[in-house]
Structure formats: structure tokens, C-alpha cells
Amino acid sequence: MLLGRGLTVGVRLCGVDLELERGAGLGVIGRSGSGKSTLARALVGLEPELAGSLRMNGRELIGAPRSAWAELRARVQLVWQDAATAMDPHLTVRHSIAEARLLAGRDRFTRDDPRLAALLERVALDPVLLDRLPGALSGGQRQRAAIARALAAEPELLIVDEVTSALDRPVAWTIVDLLRSLRAAGIGLMMISHDLSFLPGTVDRVLVLADGRPVEAGPVATVLAEPRHAATRALVDAAPRL
Ligand SMILES: Nc1ncnc2c1ncn2[C@@H]1O[C@H](COP(=O)(O)OP(=O)(O)OP(=O)(O)O)[C@@H](O)[C@H]1O
């Protein structure tokens, strides 16, 4: 049904347009309160007032019929900052995955569906964890489960909001490696991260926000090596050097 069609999602927030093309990898950085999560939420339709305009493949969704929104929900998935609250604490991982498929209008996985096994393998999540509640998982497992839930919708763009911030660095790197493998498989990625070291090799471009507005954008290596805006310089200066 959707095969062969490209994906462009765009949002206008505070009069500034952001366009993400299919397969793109964009890092979003900015100090706390700069509007990163709001931008992510706007792109999945959760901030219609602030967004001003939300387009998919050039079509305006704000004010559009439900069917257009259903398509956005299937194609763009957001993984929240805190996996503990991102997943319903009362639903097992299996149920969360089933719910995500239902909401995205995808068919059900059967109990022994090979696609479910493939999904778990993709995120390196042990199948024994399928029937556990999120609260019974470690932080890293919970993030993998949250990513599996998002991938169950078969999105073309995954937006991840600080998915590594609650994890210690070795575990965080395993999640970054997972995100890199998803990108290599053609899934677009928008990655919000306060840890700048995760961005090179994971995304191509970076957008810097300050006070809810984009202030700088460019190739990740250039922006991090030669920051032009004071807000970017402050972030780069504050990053630990290895
Ligand atoms: N473009 C905007 N216009 C108006 N208000 C905005 C805009 N962007 C963000 N805000 C508001 O600013 C506040 C902080 O934004 P947000 O949580 O998105 O920041 P953040 O960069 O994700 O912060 P943190 O890193 O702490 O999670 C929110 O109350 C949000 O509604």
C-alpha cells in the first residue's frame, strides 16, 4: 500500500521549517529547555498548536482527515526519553508490541510469528523477556523493548529522544550501535542527544536549537568542529573530551 513512496515530514515551529527526507539522519542538540522534545513531539502530531504546520509528503496534516494521521502514525515513530514511562507499565513487552502494530494499522503478529522473532533479534532482546512487564527489565533492556515497540509499527522514520541518557556509557553505546544498524538498513533517524559523541557515525547532519528555535544546522563533523553560534559553542565546550 505504501511501498515505493518516499517520505518527507516537515514541521513549522516558531516560523522555522524543518524537513526530514526519507532515510535522513539528523541529530538535534540544544541545552535543556531549548525545545528538542517539543520538536520531536510536533513531528508525530502531538503539538499541533505549537507546530503551526505539519506536512507529510507535502500534504498538510493539521486539519486533514483521520486517515492522513493514521499514515503518519505508521510511518513515523517516537521513542521517548524515559523508557520506564514510554511503555505502559501494565502491559508486557508482547502486548506493547501488539498495541503498536494495532495503532499503526498493521496486521497482528501470531504467537510464534517469525516476524516477531526477527524483530527481537534486530534489537537483540531475549525472547524470554517478551512476557515481562517493563518494570522487570534493566534500563538497557527497556530501551531495546521500547525501540522494538516502535519498530513493530514498521516506521520509515524513528525519532529517539535522549534514549541513552538513563544508561551507563557501555550500555548506551550498545543502543547507539543498534540505532546505527537501523540506519544502515534504511530507516531514517532523528536523534536527540545531549551526548555529542554519539552523533558522528550515527547521523549526517545536526540541528542546534536555542529558545525553541533552530540557530545552526550543518554536517555533524562541521558543526561540532567549527561551531558558529554561541549556543553550539557552549554545548561543544561543555562536552567532555576523550
Ligand atoms: N517553539 C516553541 N515555542 C514555544 N514554546 C516552546 C517551543 N519549543 C519548546 N517550547 C516550550 O519550552 C519548554 C521546554 O521545551 P522542551 O521540553 O521541548 O525542551 P528540551 O530541549 O527537550 O529540554 P530537555 O533537554 O530538558 O528535555 C516546554 O514547555 C515547551 O512547551
Each residue's pLDDT, cut to its tens digit, for the chain (242 residues) gives: 333 456 788 888 766 678 888 889 999 999 999 999 999 999 998 988 888 889 888 888 988 888 888 888 889 999 987 756 778 899 999 999 999 999 999 999 998 899 999 999 999 999 999 999 999 999 889 999 999 999 999 999 999 999 988 888 998 999 999 999 999 999 999 999 999 999 999 999 999 999 988 999 999 999 999 999 999 999 999 987 64
- Ligand 1: which of 17, 37, 38, 235 to mutate, judged by most atoms within 8 Å of the beta carbon? 38
Cβ–ligand 1 distance for 193 under 6 Å, the answer no
Q: Is 34 in the pocket of ligand 1 (CB under 6 A)?
A: yes
Q: Which fold has domain 8-238?
A: Rossmann fold (3.40.50)
ipTM: 0.95
Is 214 close to ligand 1, i.e. is its CB under 6 Å away?
Answer: no
In the chain, domain spans: 8-238
Cα–Cα dist 149/146, whole Å: 5
Decide whether any atom of ligand 1 lies within 6 Å of the 30 Cβ: yes
H/E stretch holding 218 reads strand 213-219
Helix%, strand%, coil% for the chain, nearest 5 = 40, 20, 35
